[in-house]
Homo-oligomer: A and B are copies of this chain.
Amino acid sequence: MATVAFIGLGNMGGPMAANLIKAGMTVTVFDLMPAAVDALTAQGALSAKTACGAAASADVVISMLPAGKHVSSLYLGDASNKGLLDVVSKDTLLIDCSTIDAATAQLVGSKAAQKGIEFMDAPVSGGTAGAAAGTLTFICGGTDAAFNKAQTVLTVMGANIFHAGQVGAGQIAKICNNMLLSVLMVGTSESLQLGIDNGLDPKILSDIMKVSSGGNWTLEKYNPCPDVMDNVPSSKGYQGGFMVDLMVKDLGLSQQAALASNSSTPMGALARSLYVNHARQGHGRLDFSSIFEQFSQKK
């Protein structure tokens, strides 16, 4: 049974680590917040005083951090700390599940490769509910060997595990998907409101478009118009779900990639502008389907 080091025990990392423990793995955790560590040790985790300490003897290291700079510090070190690449052995598998810029993933990957260590980026989707249920989607970038070896741990935490390509490809595929998701959400919102403004019942219109050429994930699972679908954020005051601020973060990553590759993404760029405006009007903590309210008449 693999021994795992888990670094970063936030809303996502905490339940992910818990699932590994439940599966009987030996998990050593680290987080800057003592309370987050305590919650995991109470479930059977070991703890370490530093990230390097947790990782030193693990077969697999998993990290789940907020942004590229944290990932870079963790693996490459910084002014005050060694990086994981300085302490782990060559047969350790490093898996970063954070959603960050592809450039940082590729930098860490190439530094790891220089030392003969396997590194894989494996950003997730599925939210905190998926993390708790062990039904996350992982989109992985790395070698075939790394991808195969990672199955042991990833299948415990997730239901869908994709191999997008080499290191960095996981990040790219995820932000391509999330950029497209934002376009689906905005496009569906404005189409539904156009129908409503012209006298249509949004439920009927949704039913028609769902099985027609306008069909898309948001109509299927996450209708943005209140009271069309039960148990989705739009029918609960846009609470819960995937926050506008997080969509703004992912759209920022997609635009960063588009700048780096000199790509044109007019719809994704427009979606980002609309979501930033929405956040700046004070709606950053609502679910991202609340963009619907930009199109409806304020009561």
Residue interface mask A80-112, B partner, CB < 8 A = 1? 000000000000000000000010000000000
Q: Say yes or no: B276 contacts A212, CB within 8 Å.
A: no
Q: Say yes or no: B264 contacts A199, CB within 8 Å.
A: no
A interface: dominant SS? helix
Total interface residues on A, using CB and 8 Å? 84
**Residues of chain B contacted by A207 (CB below 8 angstroms):** 162
Residue interface mask A240-269, B partner, CB < 8 A = 1? 000000001000101111111111111111
A208 partner, pick from B164, B188, B214, beta carbons under 8 A: B164
Q: Is A152 an interface residue (CB 8 A)?
A: no
Interchain CA distance A172-B200 in the complex, whole Å: 8
State which residues 208-229 of A face B: CB under 8 Å. Answer: 208-209, 211-217, 220-222
Q: Is A77 an interface residue (CB 8 A)?
A: no
A-to-B contact residues, CB < 8 Å: 102, 125, 137, 139, 160, 162-166, 168-169, 172-173, 176-181, 183-184, 186-188, 190-195, 197-201, 204-205, 207-209, 211-217, 220-222, 248, 252, 254-274, 276-277, 280-282, 294-298
- In the A-B complex, the 4 residue pairs with the closest CB atoms: A183-B187, A216-B216, A180-B214, A264-B276
